[in-house]
Structure 1
Amino acid sequence: MATTMLRLSLLLILLSSVVSDKCNPQDKKALLQIKKDLNNPYLLASWDQNTDCCDWYTVKCDHETHRIISLAIIDSGPSNFSAQIPPSVGELPYLETLEFHKLPKLTGPLQPAIAKLTNLKYLRISNTNLSGSVPSFLAQLTNLTNLDLSFNNLTGSIPDSLSQLSNLGSLRLDHNNLTGSIPSSFGSFKSNLDIILSHNNLTGTIPPSIGNLNFTHIDLSRNKLEGDASSIFGPNKMVQIVDLSRNNLTFNLSNVEFPTSLTSLVINHNKVYGNLPQGLTKLKFQFLNVSYNRLCGQIPVGGTLQSFDIYEYFHNKCLCGSPLPKCTSN
């Protein structure tokens, strides 16, 4: 009996050793350094040097190579997590996904070491206290398909070089303190990406080159943008959601041709003038708000336009008709 138990114990030790060997030693070393640099948070309690790092919480390994391909540190509860992004994240060369999310005490700038992660496809650092600028070195991550730096304290201007990310499909820089203008180079993105730049302090005009893109979602709301935004629209576009609200945009809505794909149009609190085009009756809006502008004329009858209440139309120069009061001869 004792011999049998001894053999079982040796077998378990052997199996444990085999399992632990799956984790690449260099990746494991980098992860343990990350944990140390983050002041050993409880969130990473499973990161034990005596276990296989492929089994650690927030970590994902490739099934064949066993290299670390995903690191997603997300805290869904109250946290005392206080640190900066460790430079050691740059020592995980096979990373395809990197996330730091809902970590309000994560501070400091974006680490230049992130530029070493050339296999990165998804970068999300959001809902943190990250500060500093949006670094131009992000343009070196040419495999990126998603870049999300929303809900931080980033300042400065948006670098032109981001347009070099030819595979980018989604760009989120919203809810920061960014200033300056939208780079005209954004019109040269190779892919048709969604752009969300809302809740910043961006100024200037929307570059006409943006009209070259065929995104499905664009949100430039709550900035200080001026001028014409009509290049965003067009009969051959595939855009579904447009939010340009709370800017200083000035353009004639009468001549705008809207794509049939449009389901959400929010342009309230601007200086948009002209009439509501009859073509809007052909669209199936889920959200619509044109209030607080300089629009005139009768609201076209048909489609979903009368399904919205007065608050989506009021405070215009002389807009009338259901759901607003009837138009008069005057």
Structure 2
Amino acid sequence: MEEAMKRVHHTKVTFTLSCLLHLFFFCALPAMAGDVDRLISFKNSLANPSLLSNWNGTSSVCEFQGVTCKSGHVSSLKIRGLPLGANFSSVSAHILSLQNLETLTLHSINLTGSISAPRNCTLRLKELDLSSNNLRGSVSDATSLANSCVSLQSLNLSDNSIGQSFYSPSSVLPHLKMLDLSNNKIATNEDLEWLFSKLGMLKHLDLSDNNIKGTLPYITNCTTLKHLDLSANQLSGTILTGTFSSCLDLTYLNLSTNHFTGKVPTEIQACSDLITLSLSNNNFSGEIPILSLVSMPGLRFLELAFNNFNGSLSESISKLTSLEILDISANQLSGLIPQSLCTNNISSLEVLHLQDNYFTGSVPYSLSNCTNLVSLDLSLNLLSGSIPGSLGSLSNLKDLIIWQNNLTGAIPAELSSLKLLRNLILNYNSLTGKIPDGLVNCTNLNWISLASNQLTGSIPIWIGKLEKLVVLILSNNSFTGLIPTELGDCPGLCYIDLSNNQINGSIPPTLAKQSGKIVSDLIVDGWLYVSLASSKNIQCHNTLSFLEFNGIRYYDLMRMPVTHYCNFMRVYTGFTGELRRSNVLSMIYLDLSYNLLDGHIPTEISTMQSLRFLNLEHNHLSGPLPPELGILTNLFALYLSHNFLDGMIPSSFSGLSLSDLDLSNNRLSGTIPEWGSLATFPAYAFENNSGLCGLPLPPCNGRSISNGNVLQKPSTNYGSSDGWWIALGVLFSFFLIIGFVIGQFIK
């Protein structure tokens, strides 16, 4: 009997559960059907509905592209990068009314129209991302949208066209915690002041990359605000006392890239929880407010670059033991670099950028205590003494950049221990001795620039083992010996400048060894660079100087002594984004001028199909011009003057698309080809070749042309032409496009 009663009870329970399941199924059907109908209605409103091919009546709604379900209902819809061509009114009518929707992301789908408060926004929506579209409307429209979706906590409208008009009926944002209106068209101080009065419980506000003008208004209601980004606007004037008086919970404050003036308000020390403080690219002046800064024990990122701060850098900076990034580049700071930096054994400092100031004294040995240091830049200062060998103990260091100082002594052999080193840039100093052979261990080197020092010895053959090397600049030293044939083993080497040395022997054909190879998985990060183009003269042989340029003011280039004898007539700058080079690419820039090279010009150079700039002038090269050079269709500048080259100018040269050419001061003969780009150059490109004739030189009439009959180029324009500037412009635009410059430090 007892067993029978158990079976009856079990049957009743099973029947009850079955009924409940059936009841749930039949109740869910209308909701699921409603989800399908709304999504298909949205699809039918699109300009490109075919991009959502599986949104149809035969597929389960939970299988629709971008859809995620909970308990059979649409809980999330995420579509990125499809040019659907939707209008916001359709999103409002069909998607925001999905009853169980919690997250909606429609990023970069060509969404247009004006934002407005939806009539029936789902009560469950928490996150709404409509970024990178072309939505219009006012700031108050954005807050109205947030208020209509009563559970909304995160609203991302960045990269749209919000801000053309102003209308302000909205109440305080009651539930919203994150509002991103960055990269829009907000322009008035009135918008900003109005929004600051509506913050409610907002924790994260991003208004960066707009066009907001005027002074910074008081933030009257920011007791819960933790993240405030007003960078890249047009805000100006001084920051008034009391502006941030109620924002005591701020952990992130970014006011960079505006036009603020005056001193940093001392009240900022009340924001003792700050982790990130960025005031870069303004006109702040006075001394760095160190007393305010040390009241922020958790400060990790301090960026004060490109201002007018003066005075010294206080030793008290060492009290910020949590600091990971210290960037005070491009100011007017002077005095010694604090010896107390990183004296704490638990120093967290990863980036130390002090470039473009007036620091004196030596490079502190105490920097070797910055055991986490990744990037060190002390360029364009007045530092003297030697490079401390103790820097070789910084096992995490990737960037060692100390160009344009007064450093002496040898490059420390201890740097060979820096296995992660990517960028070694020490040009424009007075360094002596040889390049340490141990640097062969630094297999991650991307950029070596040791130009304009007093280095001697031969160019090391081990450089050919650096598989990630892209830039090699050793010009203006006293190197002797041969060009290593092994340089051709560097698969990614695109820029070589060995000019103004005492290198002899022939040009190795193996330099073209890597031409046309596929270089895969080589990361070229975005760095700012500058290229200084000058007219050549007795003191300045270079037509081009290529510099790493992060954290340097444009006009502070005039502080470089080289500018006093090199007439820099053009300055090219560029900033390159990260690029994964997986295409065929070879040498772009090759400068071997002002050396003692002899022999013939290797025909293998013609395989360098990416070559833009070739300078072999002022050597002892002989023999004919290789006709094969005529296939270098990308070449813009060719300099072969002051050698012993003979024979005729090959007719294949007429196919070159040159913007600048110099074949002068050789032993060339015959008629100058009268077609192609060769016909566009003036006489000085061919002068002092006694056997040459034809335009632009005197005509070929059966008699030799004496040097006296050749038109001489004016000394004020020696080695320069209008085409040169065109060539340089095209050349460095090319660098910009392909991401040629190496290594942006990762913040």
> Conserved in 1, the CA contact under 8 Å of 2:460 and 2:484?
no
- The aligned residue for residue 106 of structure 1 is 333
- The aligned residue for residue 405 of structure 2 is 176
> Conserved in 1, the CA contact under 8 Å of 2:459 and 2:484?
no
Structure-2 separation of matches of 1:218 and 1:45: 42
Q: Does 1:252 align with 2:479?
A: no
Q: Gapped runs of 5+ residues in structure 2?
A: 1-199, 201-219, 226-244, 252-260, 281-295, 516-585, 627-637, 648-666, 668-747
- The aligned residue for residue 509 of structure 2 is 278
Structure-1 separation of matches of 2:609 and 2:481: 21
User: How far off its partner does 1:57 sit?
Assistant: 4.3
- The aligned residue for residue 265 of structure 1 is 496
Q: Per the alignment, do residues 305 and 268 of structure 1 end up closer, same or farther by CA in structure 2, a change over 3 Å counting? A: farther
Question: What TM-score, normalized by structure 2, do the two folds share?
Answer: 0.36
Q: Per the alignment, do residues 309 and 99 of structure 1 end up closer, same or farther by CA in structure 2, a change over 3 Å counting? A: closer
> Conserved in 1, the CA contact under 8 Å of 2:297 and 2:322?
no
Q: Does 1:120 align with 2:120?
A: no
Aligned residues: 294
Structure-1 separation of matches of 2:268 and 2:412: 46
Match of 2:450 among 210, 215, 220: 220
- The aligned residue for residue 313 of structure 1 is 616
> Conserved in 2, the CA contact under 8 Å of 1:241 and 1:265?
yes
Instruction: Please give the per-residue CA displacement for 1:291-312, whole angstroms capped at 9, x wherever unaligned.
Output: 00111122222123895567x1
> Conserved in 2, the CA contact under 8 Å of 1:47 and 1:53?
no
- The aligned residue for residue 156 of structure 1 is 385
- The aligned residue for residue 197 of structure 1 is 426
Q: What is the one-letter code of the residue matched to 2:504?
A: Y
Q: Does 1:167 align with 2:471?
A: no
Question: What TM-score, normalized by structure 1, do the two folds share?
Answer: 0.79
Q: Per the alignment, do residues 253 and 13 of structure 1 end up closer, same or farther by CA in structure 2, a change over 3 Å counting? A: closer
Q: Look up the SS of the partner of 1:210 in the other structure.
A: helix
Bigger drift between 113-122 and 297-306 goes to 297-306
Match of 2:320 among 78, 92, 95: 92
Q: Look up the SS of the partner of 2:355 in the other structure.
A: strand
Structure 1 segments (4+ residues) deviating >6 Å: none
Instruction: Please give the per-residue CA displacement for 1:49-78, whole angstroms capped at 9, x wherever unaligned.
Output: 45566385439xxxxx992111111125xx
Q: Per the alignment, do residues 261 and 88 of structure 1 end up closer, same or farther by CA in structure 2, a change over 3 Å counting? A: same
- The aligned residue for residue 289 of structure 1 is 591
Structure-2 separation of matches of 1:254 and 1:265: 12
Structure-1 separation of matches of 2:337 and 2:298: 24
- Higher RCO (C-alpha under 8 Å, 6+ residues apart): 1
Q: Gapped runs of 5+ residues in structure 1?
A: 1-7, 24-40, 60-64
Instruction: Please give the per-residue CA displacement for 1:247-274, whole angstroms capped at 9, x wherever unaligned.
Output: 0001211543421210000000001111
Structure-1 separation of matches of 2:270 and 2:387: 44
Q: Look up the SS of the partner of 1:20 in the other structure.
A: coil
User: How far off its partner does 1:48 sit?
Assistant: 3.0
Q: Look up the SS of the partner of 2:440 in the other structure.
A: helix
Q: Per the alignment, do residues 51 and 286 of structure 1 end up closer, same or farther by CA in structure 2, a change over 3 Å counting? A: same
Q: What is the one-letter code of the residue matched to 1:278?
A: P
Q: CA RMSD for the aligned pairs?
A: 3.1
Structure-2 separation of matches of 1:85 and 1:277: 50
Structure-1 separation of matches of 2:622 and 2:264: 58
> Conserved in 2, the CA contact under 8 Å of 1:121 and 1:143?
yes
Instruction: Please give the per-residue CA displacement for 1:137-171, whole angstroms capped at 9, x wherever unaligned.
Output: 11110101111111100000011100000000110
User: How far off its partner does 1:89 sit?
Assistant: 1.2
User: How far off its partner does 1:43 sit?
Assistant: 5.2
Q: Look up the SS of the partner of 1:265 in the other structure.
A: strand
- The aligned residue for residue 608 of structure 2 is 304
Higher Rg of the two aligned structures? 2
User: How far off its partner does 1:135 sit?
Assistant: 1.1
> Conserved in 2, the CA contact under 8 Å of 1:85 and 1:108?
yes
Structure-2 separation of matches of 1:319 and 1:137: 54
- The aligned residue for residue 27 of structure 1 is none
